[in-house]
């Protein structure tokens, strides 16, 4: 858990604060919302503006909405949610009177794990009844004309989640958690590791040359950073696939971490202890399991 989150003795998150708006390009802003150090984007056109992600609670969403007036007098007409995780989605109820967009899978994602959602809400001091899905779900792509500029919203998942979407405005791309800076990517069982590199390839091909990429968490990055993260994820997919073909079990792969026999994984040991079960599990669901029980040995 990142140190910014801050918990009370009862386990509730207490650090809810918003940083200042920073202008990344003309009319394109970002602020950082705590907890979870999440980037909130704002795109201002001649006629209207659009927000990217909503914070962690409806109250934080209302505070973000009020902060829009600090940088523009254009009306907020659209809100985009990049994916279904709490730090990006749970503030959405503060915007239900405007057009809110997100992938069509988000409503189902909210309903799929009620116990986990209830625990998250308890930690945040809210009720599951406070949560809403986007009121304008989309399947593949939407384009929003804000006057003088168009925001393109593209579904590139499944990857980090089923419903990952990016927002492209001129030479700025809001990637959600498809890209992470300052920490390893969050690779979870509900995501699809095998198609994540393809999603990042789509991100790169959709962006104009020289674009700035705004990750879900961390500082904006360039094309080279996104390419490197794509290569890291692709390497993991390939290495685990080789493990399975060579009869190396999950237990053996985990036991090798931190030893000289481990592959040179691109992420740290703690991350790989979470990633390897996910990677093996996804291959197993596709019918790929080690045929022999071989340990990892030194070359």
Average pLDDT over residues 225-239: 97
Residue 12's pLDDT band (boundaries 50, 70, 90)? low
Residue 145 in this model has a pLDDT that exceeds 50: yes
For the segment 161-196, what is each residue's pLDDT rounded down to a tens digit?
Answer: 999 999 999 999 999 999 999 999 999 999 999 999
Give the model's pLDDT for residue 119: 94
Give the model's pLDDT for residue 157: 86
As a whole number of angstroms, the distance between CA 136 and CA 155 comes to 14
Residue 292's pLDDT band (boundaries 50, 70, 90)? low
39 in Cβ contact with 32 (< 8 Å): yes
Residue 250's pLDDT band (boundaries 50, 70, 90)? very high
Residue 276's pLDDT band (boundaries 50, 70, 90)? very high
Give the model's pLDDT for residue 249: 96
Average pLDDT over residues 38-56: 98
Residue 150 in this model has a pLDDT that exceeds 70: yes
Higher-confidence position of 299 and 292: 292
Give the model's pLDDT for residue 180: 96
Least confident segment among 12-21, 145-154, 211-220, 263-272: 12-21
Give the model's pLDDT for residue 215: 98
Give the model's pLDDT for residue 288: 87
Residue 260 in this model has a pLDDT that exceeds 60: yes
Residue 56 in this model has a pLDDT that exceeds 50: yes
For the segment 88-121, what is each residue's pLDDT rounded down to a tens digit?
Answer: 999 999 999 999 999 999 999 999 889 999 999 9
Give the model's pLDDT for residue 2: 37
Average pLDDT over residues 33-53: 97
Higher-confidence position of 293 and 18: 18
For the segment 200-224, what is each residue's pLDDT rounded down to a tens digit?
Answer: 999 999 999 999 999 999 999 999 9
Instruction: Indicate yes or no: pTM above 0.85.
Output: yes
Least confident segment among 45-49, 109-113, 132-136: 109-113
Which residue has 């386990």 as its token pair?
Answer: 11
């Amino acid at each position: 858990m990142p140190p910014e989150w801050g918990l009370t003795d009862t386990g509730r998150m207490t650090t809810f604060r918003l940083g200042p708006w920073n202008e990344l390009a003309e009319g394109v802003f970002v602020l950082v919302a705590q907890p979870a150090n999440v980037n909130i984007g704002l795109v201002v056109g001649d006629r209207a503006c659009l927000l990217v992600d909503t914070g962690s609670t409806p109250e934080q969403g209302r505070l973000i909405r009020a902060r829009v007036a600090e940088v523009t007098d254009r009306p907020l007409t659209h809100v985009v949610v990049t994916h279904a995780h709490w730090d990006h989605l749970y503030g959405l109820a503060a915007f239900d009177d405007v057009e809110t967009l997100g992938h069509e899978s988000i409503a189902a994602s909210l309903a799929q794990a009620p116990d986990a959602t209830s625990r998250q809400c308890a930690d945040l001091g809210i009720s599951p009844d406070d949560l809403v899905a986007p009121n304008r779900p989309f399947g593949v792509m939407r384009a929003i004309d804000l006057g003088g500029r168009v925001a393109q919203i593209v579904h590139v998942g499944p990857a980090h989640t089923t419903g990952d979407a990016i927002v492209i405005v001129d030479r700025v791309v809001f990637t959600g958690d498809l890209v992470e800076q300052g920490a390893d990517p969050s690779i979870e069982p509900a995501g699809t590791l095998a198609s994540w590199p393809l999603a990042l390839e789509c991100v790169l091909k959709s962006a104009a040359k020289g674009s700035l990429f705004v990750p879900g968490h961390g500082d904006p990055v360039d094309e080279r950073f996104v390419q490197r993260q794509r290569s890291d994820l692709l390497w993991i997919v390939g290495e685990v696939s080789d493990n399975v073909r060579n009869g190396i079990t999950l237990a053996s792969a985990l036991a090798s971490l931190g030893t000289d026999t481990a592959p040179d994984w691109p992420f740290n040991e703690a991350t790989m202890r979470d990633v390897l079960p996910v990677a093996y599990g996804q291959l197993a669901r596709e019918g790929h399991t080690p045929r022999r029980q071989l340990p990892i040995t030194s070359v």
